[in-house]
Chains A and B, each alone.
Chain A
Amino acid sequence: MNLFKTAGIGTTALSLLTYMAFATPVVCAELRTNLPADPATIDPIVASELIAGDVIRNIYESFTAIDSHGNVIPSLAESWEALDGGRGFRIHLRKGVKFHSGRVFTAKDVKFSLEQLLLPTSKAGLNSPHASAIVGADEVKSGATTELKGVKIVDDYTVEIALKSVNPLFPLYPIYMMDSGVIAEAGANWATKISAGTGPFKFGGWSRGQQVQLEAHKDYWRGAPKIDGVRFMIVPDSNTAMSMYETGGLDLLRVPADLVRRVIGDAAMKGQLVTSPEARVRYLAMNAELYKPFEDKRVREAFCISLDQAEMIEGLYYGAALPFYGAVPPGIGGYNSNLKPINVDPKRARALLAEAGYAGGAGMPPLNFSNLEPNKTESLYITSKIKEALGVNVGVEILERGTMLKSMNSRQLPYYYWGWSLDYPDGLNFLEALWYGPSPYNRGWKNAEYDARIAEAKAIADNDARYKVYNQAEKILLDEWGMCPLPLQLQVVLVKPGVKGVKLTSSRLEPFWDVSIKP
């Protein structure tokens, strides 16, 4: 059969070709871990999403960092003092820090990085709002000038930054510092070729859909990493990722949510399992602007006390979650460890609904609960509990991610499940972004007293005094049932024996500087 022969030759030739094209040399002391998708970029200016963040944190650093206990520690800034009553900072930079290029990190790089975040040509992403707090930011943004007036270089290791308003949190912002010589060296499209950071690893290569490779930065200021590099394998399918880990293709597995049950129940995995609560809150938003019954606090309370977190943790998250009754998660400045649990009380819920004039759900306009496909089970649980406790029929509306974001942003969803991951490690981030009236992300609950507390807290430099006001604001939000808090899900990773130093914190995995691998 000629066709057989042709097919045989074709397959062999193809295999040989692909083998030659993709064969890569083996490096031993390399940490192999998974990412669920390609990072969109490894440019610290453009970066906007969490996956890019996981890679970039190993390459770039900011003034401060978070340690494994969630504390803010100095990083590229050694120390700082407030100027002008808090409307600015004098920042003393760490000496002896070298970029991946070998150039020394100085004040001019700070100014350069901040300007890059604002230039109209730079397509700057999530960190650009942080730089917008600086005096002169608007002039750079509009293209009137390229010089950021509010940043003054005092000497190589001292920089003074003037802010538009009192902002004690500025040094905490994750503004990545980059090498000001990089554009001269590699052109405008530098980020596709090299990295320009001070972090423990530098960019080593990216085969899209397959892997991102990082190499050790031998001159790293805290000492050279103990491994030669990191290989982020891009594995969208969770079962494939699990199989790769099981057969030794990965040293560190970030366990995808749909596999948590299997991993947690597997006795063979016990010694390799690491978990930590994530600084990502999840909540049920009840938009009073769109759904009239939600204007009534009693209705909001009735909806919240019908749900049982213990049941959700057991049945939906297989134990990989913690009960949570607040707005600021643990491990974040301003977390209140004395929050009272919400009592599940269907009887009271029914009574409250009746008091509000909707006994047994009578007279309530139709309502849909919106969510994404991966959280469908949560949606069904929540709506069935509401039906069971209150007799109210709530439909489930599953939306595609882009569609859901669009509808949520344009405030078209009355009742939905969503989350928030931290931008900077302070409770204000959670309290301000979601529930503060003037915030662009406000979820449809507004309260003047709450807004006043947040406005007040924003100007308090002393941490303890500020946290106290956060707690007061959080109490208003909870007492008013501005939202229903949901359990905090645990991040779950598996680490192969022999791999030491992997640190899972509330803000995802720490950079792999301290990781070592015993062959």
Chain B
Amino acid sequence: MLRYILRRLWSLLLVWAVTVTVTFFAMRMVPGDPITVMLSDQSGNVDLAERLRAQYGLDRPLLYQLFDYLAGIASGTFGLSYRFVGYSVINVIAGGLAITPILALVSFLVALPIGVVLGVSAAVRAGGWLDAVITIALVASISIPSFALAAVLVWVFSIKLELLPVAGWGSVEQAILPIIVLVVAPTAVIARLARTYMLEVLDCDYVRTARAKGVRESLVIYRHAMRNTLVPLLTSVGIIFGALLSGAFIVETVFNIPGLGRIAVESILARDYPVTMTIVLLFTAFYTLINFAVDLLYGIVDPRVRLTGDAS
């Protein structure tokens, strides 16, 4: 087991190294640079622009700049932001780091139980009216773009009913609407998956056996069948969580939350290379670590897929 974990961690490091390098060169291939965007109208002033490029170290060979950034990672500050002069990358993203992953996690924790219950309920009554209602609701919630949903919620709850604040970050009230918007899509995805898996499981022999033994239907569903739907559902957790992280940008913009998604987009537009690379690296790290955790969890949820170092 330990050997397996170590081997996986080593491959994660490789993935991260490749991510940093690819992002670095991809960013440099985009036309314009931090100075162009910073000077805007005046960026045509070659004299001024070249002088600033030299002062920011942007005139040095690319490999030097890459090593510089790697040294920044090693130092823990991730280098200096180009857009916010005098601030380190870690300072620029610190606020967002305490927001986006938490928003995504809370939304996920809310979406998971609701989604499973909805999916299971639909599956149990497959073909009935409840199944139809739930399925229609799920398709609708996957189809509504989150910015539209957000606008409607703000109009109803903030402007008309004056129950919740329009935007901002810092109080419980301000977190309610963004979390609702973020929860909708993953709930629908989880519910649809849960319904499909549950239908498969309900066809299995052990469910038939349990029923034949005269076990109460609720116990059959929740103890025997549902545990087994969790295994395939776990596989999708990483993907759903990744979608939540990247989907946070829209919610952060509409509700004016200074999260990582917003910082990422702004830093790309401003060509703030070090900040962009750090956020890409962080998202990659979240994503890969969650998938790693999911792999480990398989063994706990399903003893049949217990992992050992020499299994393969």
Contacts and interface: CB of A to CB of B under 8 A. Distances in A.
Interface of A: 1, 3-4, 6-7, 10-11, 14-16, 18-19, 21-24, 37-38, 40-41, 43, 46, 48-50, 120-123, 125-126, 128-129, 141, 189, 191-192, 207-210, 233-237, 239-240, 243-244, 246-247, 249, 400-403, 405-409, 418-421, 423, 440-441
A246 B263 CA distance: 26
A450 B186 CA distance: 63
Interface in B90-131: 92, 95-96, 98, 102, 105-106, 109-110, 112-113, 116-117
Interface stretch (B29-37, B197-205, B213-221, B289-297): B29-37
B166 A247 contact: yes
Contacts of B31: 402-403, 406-407
A421 B43 contact: no
Contact of B85 (A15, A41, A408, A418): A41
A308 to B, nearest CB: 27
A420 B44 CA distance: 12
B169 A18 contact: yes
B310 interface: no
Q: Main SS of chain B's interface residues? A: helix
Contacts of B247: none
A46 B92 CA distance: 18
Contacts of A21: 98, 170
A482 B305 CA distance: 75
A112 B154 CA distance: 50
The 6 tightest CB contacts between A and B, nearest first, are: A209-B258, A402-B32, A22-B170, A15-B172, A3-B113, A7-B109
B30 A208 contact: no
B253 A236 contact: yes
A48 B42 contact: yes
A18 B259 CA distance: 13
A209 B253 contact: no
28 contacts: A3-B112, A7-B106, A7-B113, A15-B172, A21-B98, A22-B170, A23-B171, A46-B86, A129-B48, A209-B257, A234-B256, A234-B258, A235-B167, A239-B151, A246-B159, A247-B159, A247-B162, A247-B165, A249-B167, A401-B37, A402-B36, A402-B37, A403-B32, A405-B43, A406-B43, A409-B36, A409-B44, A441-B44
Contacts of B72: none
A402 B256 contact: no
Given A243-B167, A403-B31, A40 B85 contact: yes
A189 B46 CA distance: 27
B95 to A, nearest CB: 6
Contact of A123 (B47, B85, B87, B270): B85
A441 B85 contact: no
A18 B171 contact: yes
A43 B38 contact: no
A4 B117 CA distance: 11
B8 interface: no
A23 B170 contact: yes
B112 A7 contact: yes
B56 interface: yes
A188 to B, nearest CB: 8
A224 B40 CA distance: 35
